[in-house]
Amino acid sequence: MNKQLTELPGVGPATLNNLHALGIFSIEDLCFHLPYSYQDRSIFTNIENLTEGEEHVVRGRVVSVQTIYRPRKMMVIKINDGSGFLNLRFFYFHPSQAKEFVKDRNVISFGKISLSKYGYELIHPEYSFDENNIIEKDFLVPTYRITKGISQKKIRAFIHNALEHYDFTEAGEDLKRYDPAFAMDLKSALTTIHLPAIDESLPELLPGGSHPARVRLMKEEMVAFQCGMIAIKEKKHKQTAYECPNEESWTKGVLRNFPFDLTNAQNRVLQEISQDLTKNIPMLRLVQGDVGSGKTMIALLACCRAIDSGTQAVMMAPTTILAEQHFLSIKALLQDNEDHIALLTGSTTARERKIILKKLADGDIKLLIGTHAVFQSDIVFKKLGLVVIDEQHRFGVNQRLSLVKKQNENNKAPHQLTLTATPIPRTLAMSIYAHMDVSVVDELPPGRSPVITSLLSKQKTSELSQRVSDAIKNGSKIYWVCPLIEESETLDLSNVEEREKELAEFLPKSIITKLHGRMKPAEKISAMEKFKTGQTKILVSTTVIEVGVDVKDADIMIIENAERFGLAQLHQLRGRVGRGEKQSYCILLHKDNLHPDSKQRLEVLKNHTDGFKVAEEDLKIRGPGEILGSQQTGIVPLKYTNLIRDSRFLESTKNIAENLTKENPATAENLVKRWLSGSIGYAEA
């Protein structure tokens, strides 16, 4: 039996809370709180041999101690080791600390070296007058994710204690026969990772490295992940869903009213969806397609099929603006049936909401469109056949969770269709979303000409003013995106309020609208409407317009402080233009003196318009593992594995998971609990 956290020395109520903040609730969690980096503290470095930006241990004699008050109170200790001088600088210190630094006393300090106009410095170094406290000759010293109240030193002590108390007999030995990586037992692997011998290779131990202990742990986590996916899939297959084989008035009406032909890709994906919907097991399908590939139409036609087969459908979007837009464009395509659709968002009045709820329960509303407001617990459908989640990666964990919980009478589960523009290669997507079937919309509607993207330094903003007013005279509609809403004291970034004022100096105020997240929902919708109808020509906004917004004749996208955004996000923003006939432009305004690396990154957008290409180049520049945060991708966040960086193990671990689930389900279940207790619900949603 494993001990409780509070049985470890030094863990009182306050510390327990702090550990909880780190997601640590048990001895096991402590053992699996893995370091993200290591320090080599085995040797002293002479001051003359220090390297800026690297970590070093330095020993020297105190030369002087100064308390300086400008610009703010700080303590500076100068030390000398015979080869040079080094400053130890402290911004937070106790007066008694200053007294410890007696002239000529030997001090040992450790930290990252920085270079100022006063020479080499250590800012807030760890220090001691006893070298045994700093120097570590036998082991590399791990660094952990920590939080307020828990220092590196404390967490190291807790983890070492936890490793001693963890009951490894519960861990299961079954994995050994599936892969030689598991020959190393779990205890040795964890001990090595938490306390590697000084001669271990540091890069191999780090994320992405190939140290056997790391590979052992990572593979176990991946097997656990795959077991979890299999479990979800099996659970789904035990449920039943309404069969939706019909294409009647809803489907026919939409196709008749849609002014274009569907693309081949849209038709193919719809075919795949139709096959799923015809079955009585719940569909779980992900549709991946670049911005502008026409995913809304696919989703709508899926909804129509569900409705034509006698059930209801619901479509959920991550923002009010997007929900509203879907509602209006879908309503226009559903002329004959428009009385049977409704919009439900945070800004729906209580009275309207009550009516909608009643009609949903009666089955009078067939298609509900909205934000996560559509999944509040008091909302009851008569016969929910299909759930569509647009821009799936944008939803929080809990929101997605509450949604799958919607069940019908006789325990029928709705079919589920998720849409995303996240560009992950297809094979990767199939393994990462192993519990879903994946369809790819790999074609844009015809007649689009690629957006022309250019980079422009901020000091040339005034040149841009001329170009903007000319463009507006020629009928352009412009998005102008700023990173902030209003001026910030700490961040030197452009903001919506100020930009709006500056634009009003040379453009009529009446053609400028602003849009940001702090406006009331109704104000946002009205701003969007004005821009859409052409009443205003320039929309100054934050990134609230990033996903889904569709204004066909908008043809210029200007993004300020572009260097602050990720490439995936910039690509999404750029996807707001280039939707009509007109040649569209995207101008990435960046700060002056842009670092060459940042410039190279932005140039990826200049050179590529395909989302997959952008992602690929991003991967090359930033290195694997950094490509997209889990926030951007909606990928299950794992402790140790980055599913993109470590994708080469996806296939083999999937096979292991399949065999394990068959041959030893108890171990499979234990693995899922150990590694995914917090996130498996997440994957399910």
- Residues near Mg ion (CB under 5 A) are 548
With contacts defined by CB under 6 A, name the span among 191-199, 210-218, 291-299, 527-535 that binds ligand ADP.
291-299
Q: Supply the minimum distance, in Å, between the C-beta of residue 390 and ligand ADP.
A: 7
E strands in 190-290: 284-289
**Does 296 participate in binding ligand ADP (rule CB under 6 A)?**
yes
Question: Smallest distance, Å, CB 580 to ligand ADP?
Answer: 8
- Which residues are within 8 A (CB) of 340 and not within 5 positions of it... i.e. 6 or more apart? 307, 364, 365, 366, 367
Rounded to the nearest whole angstrom, what is the least distance from the CB of residue 446 to ligand ADP in the complex?
A: 7
Question: Taking CB under 6 A as the criterion, which residues in 373-432 touch ligand ADP?
Answer: 421
Tell which positions 167-206 bind ligand ADP, by CB under 6 A: none
Nearer to ligand ADP, 20 or 552 (CB): 552
Of residues 25 and 258, the one with the C-beta less far from ligand ADP = 258
551 binding ligand ADP? (CB under 6 A): no
Figure out which of the listed residues 180, 260, 663, 677 binds ligand ADP, where binding follows CB under 6 A.
Answer: 260
- The CA distance from 166 to 146, in Å, is 21
Binder of residue 113, out of ligand ADP, Mg ion, none (CB less than 5 to 8 A by kind): none
**Near ligand ADP by CB under 6 A: residue from 125, 228, 289, 423:** 289
Residue with smaller CB distance to Mg ion, 296 or 408:
296
Residue 291 contact partner, candidates Mg ion, ligand ADP, none, CB within 5 to 8 A by sort of partner: ligand ADP
- Cis peptide bond prior to 450, omega within 30° of 0: no
Q: Which residues contact 132 (CB under 8 A, 6 or more apart)?
A: none
Residue with tokens 């899939």: 233
CB of 227 to Mg ion, least distance (A): 33
Contacts of 503 (CB under 8 A, 6+ apart): 465, 468, 480, 512, 538, 540
Ranked by CB distance to Mg ion, the top (closest) residue is 548
Looking at the DSSP bridge assignments, the partners of residue 420 are 288
- 599 contacts: CB under 8 Å, gap ≥ 6: 455, 590
By Cβ distance, which residue is nearest to ligand ADP? 294
Site for ligand ADP (CB under 6 A): which residue of 251, 288, 293, 311? Answer: 293
3-state secondary structure of 189: helix
Q: And the tokens for 305?
A: 């099929």
Closest CB to ligand ADP among 263 and 416?
263
Which member of 192, 263, 653, 661 binds ligand ADP (CB under 6 A)?
Answer: 263
- The one-character DSSP state at 400 is H
How far apart are alpha carbons 23 and 640 in whole angstroms?
14
- Spatial separation of the C-alpha atoms in residues 306 and 277, rounded to whole Å: 8
Residue 66, burial from CB neighbour count under 10 angstroms (0-12, 13-18, 19+): exposed
* Residue 455 backbone phi and psi in degrees, to 5: -105, 140
Sort strands 415-420 and 284-289 into parallel, antiparallel or unpaired. Answer: parallel
58, 47 Cβ separation under 8 angstroms: yes
| 610 touching ligand ADP, by CB under 6 A | no
In the numeric block, the tokens 């020479």 are attached to: 119
Between residues 312 and 325, which has the closer beta carbon with respect to ligand ADP? 325
Of 364, 523, 550, 669, the one binding ligand ADP by CB under 6 A: 550
Beta bridge partners of 616: none
Secondary structure (3-state) at 66? strand
- Backbone dihedral region of 646: left (phi > 0), alpha (psi from -120 to 50 degrees) or beta? alpha
Residue 315 CB, nearest distance to Mg ion (Å)?
11
The footprint of ligand ADP on residues 69-128 (CB under 6 A) is: none
- Could you report how far apart the first and last alpha carbons of the chain are, in Å? 33
Span near ligand ADP by CB under 6 A; candidates 231-239, 289-297, 330-338, 532-540: 289-297
- 295 binds ligand ADP, rule: CB under 6 A: yes
From CA 387, how far away is CA 252, in angstroms rounded? 21
Cβ distance to ligand ADP smaller for residue 193 or 298: 298
Sign of CA dihedral 620, 626, 632, 638: positive
Rounded to whole angstroms, the Cα distance separating 544 from 319 reads: 8
CB 551, min distance to ligand ADP, A: 9
- In whole angstroms, the minimum distance from the beta carbon of 316 to Mg ion comes to 12
Which residue among 208, 445, 624, 625 contacts ligand ADP (CB under 6 A)? 445
Among residues 260 and 506, whose Cβ is nearest to ligand ADP? Answer: 260
Two tokens, residue 480? 């102008």
Is 579 a binding residue for ligand ADP by CB under 6 A? The answer is: yes
Distance CA 198, CA 661 (A): 39
> How many residues form the binding site for ligand ADP (CB under 6 A)?
18
Cβ nearer to Mg ion, comparing 438 with 471: 438
Asked if residue 230 binds ligand ADP (CB under 6 A), the reply is: no
Report the residue number, 530 or 579, with the smaller CB distance to ligand ADP.
Answer: 579
Residue (579 or 601) nearer to ligand ADP, CB: 579
Using alpha carbons, list the distances in angstroms from residue 64 to 47, 81, 106, 642. Answer: 17, 13, 12, 48
Side-chain half-sphere CA neighbours of 404 within 13 A: 19
Question: Residue 369 Cβ, how far from ligand ADP at the closest point, in Å?
Answer: 14
| Amino acid, single-letter form, for residue 174 | D
679 burial type by CB count under 10 A (0-12 exposed, 13-18 middle, 19+ buried): middle
Q: Select the span of 140-148, 503-511, 545-553, 672-680 touching ligand ADP (CB under 6 A).
A: 545-553
To the nearest whole angstrom, how small is the minimum distance from the Cβ of residue 272 to ligand ADP? 16
Q: Looking at 58-66, 290-298, 399-407, 614-622, which segment touches ligand ADP (CB under 6 A)?
A: 290-298
**Does 208 engage in binding with ligand ADP (CB under 6 A)?**
no
Residue 367: closest CA among 343, 392, 399: 343
Of 266 and 347, nearer to ligand ADP (C-beta) is: 266
Select from 142, 172, 207, 292 the one that contacts ligand ADP (CB under 6 A): 292
Q: How far is CA 562 from each of CA 4, 25, 231, rounded to the nearest angstrom?
A: 48, 40, 42
Q: Which CB, 207 or 548, lies closer to ligand ADP?
A: 548
Q: Which of 415, 433, 436, 437 is nearest to 424 (CA)?
A: 433
- Pick one of Mg ion, ligand ADP, none as the site partner of residue 358 (Cβ within 5 to 8 A by kind): none
Q: Which two tokens stand for residue 682?
A: 């997440």
Q: Per the structure block, which two tokens stand in for 127? A: 């220090």
Nearest distance in Å: CB 443, ligand ADP: 9
Q: Does 270 bind ligand ADP (CB under 6 A)?
A: no
125 binds, among ligand ADP, Mg ion, none (CB under 5 to 8 A by kind): none
Least spacing, CB of residue 325 vs ligand ADP, in Å: 9
Minimum distance of ligand ADP from residue 439's CB (angstroms): 12
Binding residues vs ligand ADP (CB under 6 A):
260, 262-263, 266, 289, 291-297, 421, 445, 548, 550, 552, 579
